[in-house]
Structure formats: structure tokens, C-alpha cells
Structure 1
Amino acid sequence: MNLLTAITELISIFLFTTLFIFIARKAAKRVGLVDKPNYRKRHQGLIPLVGGISVFAGICFTFAIADYYIPHARLYLGCAGVLVLVGALDDRFDISVKIRAVIQAAIAVIMMMVGNLHLSSLGFIFGSWELVLGPFGFFLTLFAVWAAINAFNMV
């Protein structure tokens, strides 16, 4: 991919996502997907909660316009779609932390098992010998995916 193609793709993705935000804001207000001010929040009025949905739409758009192979694209989009749906439902109905944690763990396990995507080694982190994780790699992957999901959600 050359630089002009990459820049054109980035601009297209940015414009699509920005347009999607404006469309989704109106829909969010209609269905009650809004953040209301309370003792922990400083904003005034109802704020539409469409950031995650809009970013996901932008990612889907990227996969649609990309003319190069992206490994495990369908698996990634399916798992991310479930997380976005759970996030939207949580924003609207305040889903229990336990339920969200179980769903996040299930998504991580699905990605590991279906896509064979897990940490098997930390490479030569300590010098001349490879740190192979063995079965511990599955647990480390599960924790890393769960931590990444929650860290991204905190932003």
C-alpha cells in the first residue's frame, strides 16, 4: 500500500465515522441511549452514548473498503460486535458487572479457540532463551484481553 492510498483510506474512515456520529446521536436520543448528569458527572443535559458504536461502525467501514487481506476479520468483527452490543445495553440498562465480565471472558475464549489466537511465548525477553508460556499462555491471554477491553472502555 502506498502513502496516498493510506492517507485516502484514513480520511475516508474519519469522514465516515464523523458522519455516523451525527446520525447515531439523533437515534440515541430517541431510544434513550444517553448519559444523564449525576453526582459523579459534570456535564449538563443528556449526552448521547454513541462513541463505541461509531468507532465500531468506522472499523466495519475500514474492513469493507480495505483491499488487502486482514487475518481473522470475521472473527474479530463478530467478537467486537458482541462487545459493542453489550456496551450499548449496559449504557442503556446498567448490566451487572459479573454478567459483563463473563461475556468478556467468553469473547476472549472464543477468539483463542476459534482463531487459535493466544500467547504462546514472550520471545527472548530475558536474553538468549525463549520464554515459552505453555498452557499458562491461555490464562495470560484471557487476562490480557479482559484488561485491554476494560482499559479501552475506561478511556
Structure 2
Amino acid sequence: MLLLCFIASVLLTPLVKKISIKFNITDKPNYRKVHTDLMPRLGGLAIYISFLIGLMLFRPNDPNMIYLVIGSLVIIATGMLDDIYDISPKWKLLGQVVAASIAVSGGFDLEFINLPFGGQLEFGYLSVPLTILWIVGITNAINLIDGLDGLAAGVSSIALITISFMAFLQGDIFVLAIALMVLGSALGFLIYNFYPAKIFMGDTGALFLGYMIALLSLLGFKNITFFSLIIPVIILGVPISDTFFAIIRRLIQKKPLTAPDQFHLHHRLMSSGFSHRQAVLVIYGIAVMFSLAAVIFSMATVWGSLLLLVVLSIIIEIFVEVVGLVSKDYKPILRIMEGRQAQRIQRRKRA
């Protein structure tokens, strides 16, 4: 499955590139973007077609399959419309909500979780809106990090590798099969998308990868323990944290949530002196760290899980302050550390 979709993606991407150029479906450079030349941006279509080829040949037997396919068609159509016509954010959001609603109607919903110290939390009527919020949120999180060559495809691949590994451990053949198909398709495209990129995936690819990762994480970790529910959040630590701090940043600056800026993680790394390739590799490394943490988290005791969450939260906060992900002046923990360091220096001088 992995190899077939990989080969299909490798063969299809140059064809999609020619189609993009022929019909002028390109990403034009501007003040917010790193690239300086026109770039074909319909690469996500190659990822999707490669995935469909895998589906047609292997045909995973699961009642969720038809809803997954229909929902992915809606998300692909939404992405293609945006890549071709630059539709407004509200119409793009509508397409995502429709795709998420189709998935929910097919059983991709979070009905309850088992609490760590006993008991069960039923979501009831909140099940549907919470599930739609999760799907739309993860879909947009992947889309938001698609700012450097190979970034979204690489981070998505790392997440898919982790989901595949954990599905294998749980014996979930359906999630494993779908994850490997999407992974192979993404990796084949990454050959052409890694720096210096020859083609962009566009919203077509970013929305599709985000949508599939959201659904696979729901299938793999739904209706189990509270801490198991956190596992996909840790796996997707890079896009989720980047999106979270982007929301915080815009609320502080009193800007619309959809307003673009140059303070995303990849922008801040490059502003700190990293090259294009180095910034991508650093974020890959962070994504691998989150994935390893998720695997450890899944095997830890309740108290071990809590300790890991606290440590991860502190590491993320310090990193956010160092790179200026919220703002250049947001450094509460660093200021406390600097204050204590200054106090120690003063004590030494007095002694």
C-alpha cells in the first residue's frame, strides 16, 4: 500500500505540475511568501489521486469507508476552488464544515471518554459540534503550517508514521491501511516539494492531509481514555501549537483570526537566522520529538502521563518565548529565569 501510493505520487506529480502551469494555477510571490517565482500549486491533486489508486486496489472493508471518500471529495473540491479562484475564508470554512459533517454522519464522532480516575464522560449533544470542531481545527492547522517548501508534507508524514505505528500496536488494520496510503502519497509528493520545491501542494493538498489526519486520529483514539484522547494532540503538536499561538497573537493584537501575518513558527525561525532548509529541518525535528512523546505517553502510567504533559508544556512555552511566536515582548518565563539569574549574580558579588 505504502509503496504503491508512493510510486503513483512520484509519477503523477510531474503531470499535475504541467496541468497547473498550463492553466495558470500558480502561487504568486508577495511580501508574506518566501518564494520569489511563480510556482504551480495544485500538487495536492497528485496526493489525492495516488490515495484513490491505493483505495481502489486494496479496498479496505469498513462501514466508514464511503463517508471518508465523500468527505475527502468535498475537502478536495474546496481546496481546488481556493487554489484556482482564491475563494473567501468563509466559503472555505463552509466546505470544511460540510466535509466534517459528512464524516460525523458516518460514525466519525467522539461520544464519550473514560476518565483516568474512574467514571465516564458522555458528550451527548456536544458530540457532534466537538467532533466537527476537531476535524476543522486539525484541517486548518495543517493548512497554516504550509509556508515553507516541504513543511506541511513532511510534518504530516511524521504524524502519519506515528499514527500508523500506534494503529499497528493496537491491531487496527483499517486505520493502519488508510494511514499508509496517505503516507505513501505524501512522501512521493515530498520528493518534488522539498526545498527547493518544484511544485506546491496548495490548499488542495494541505486541507486533504489535515482532514485525513483528523479522521484517522478520531478512529484510532475515539471513545477510550482521557489520556488516549491527548495522544493525537501531542502527535500534531507542531501544527496545533502554531495555530493556538497564532490565535492568541491575533486576539492580543485585536486582528481578525483569519488575518495573515509573518509570525508563524517557520517565519520566526527564519527571522532568527535559520536558512529555508534549516528551518524546515528544525520543525521536522520538533515534530519527531512530539511523536516520540506521544508514543511514550501512550505507554506511561497516569502520573507519568501528567508529568510528561507538564514537561512538554514548559518546553513549548520556553520555545515560544525564545522565537517570539506570540510577540517579541512576550517572555514571562524567560524574565523570571533572568531575574533569578540576576539575583544569584548579586549574591555572589556580595559574598
Matched, 1:104 2:96: yes
- Give the alignment partner of residue 39 of structure 1, picking from 31, 34, 40: 31
Aligned length: 145
- Return the offset for 1:67: 5.0
Q: Which residue of 2 aligns with 1:125?
A: 115
**Identity over aligned residues, as a percent?**
26
What are the ranges of 5 or more consecutive residues in structure 2 without an aligned counterpart? 145-151, 153-351
1:21 and 1:50 in contact (8 A); partners too: no
- Return the offset for 1:95: 0.5
Q: Which residue of 2 aligns with 1:73?
A: 65
Q: 2 CA distance for matches of 1:106 and 1:10?
A: 29
Q: 1 CA distance for matches of 2:34 and 2:142?
A: 21
By percentage of residues, which structure has more helix? 2
Structure 1 residue ranges (4+ consecutive) displaced by more than 3 angstroms after TM superposition: none
What are the ranges of 5 or more consecutive residues in structure 1 without an aligned counterpart? 1-8
TM-score, normalised on structure 2? 0.39
- Return the offset for 1:72: 2.2
2:5 and 2:53 in contact (8 A); partners too: yes
Secondary structure of 1:128's counterpart equals coil
- Return the offset for 1:143: 0.4
Aligned amino acid, residue 129 of structure 2: F
Secondary structure of 1:131's counterpart equals strand
Aligned amino acid, residue 143 of structure 1: L
- Return the offset for 1:111: 2.0
Larger Rg belongs to: 2
TM-score, normalised on structure 1? 0.85
Aligned runs of 1:17-56 on 2, under 5 Å? Answer: 17-56=9-48
Larger RCO of the pair (alpha carbons < 8 Å, separation 6+): 2
Note the alpha carbon deviations across 1:54-86, whole angstroms, 9 max, x for none. Answer: 221121111112154143222211211121121
Note the alpha carbon deviations across 1:131-150, whole angstroms, 9 max, x for none. Answer: 11111111110100111211
When residues 17 and 83 of structure 1 are mapped into structure 2, their CA distance, relative to the original with a 3 A threshold, is same
When residues 70 and 55 of structure 1 are mapped into structure 2, their CA distance, relative to the original with a 3 A threshold, is farther
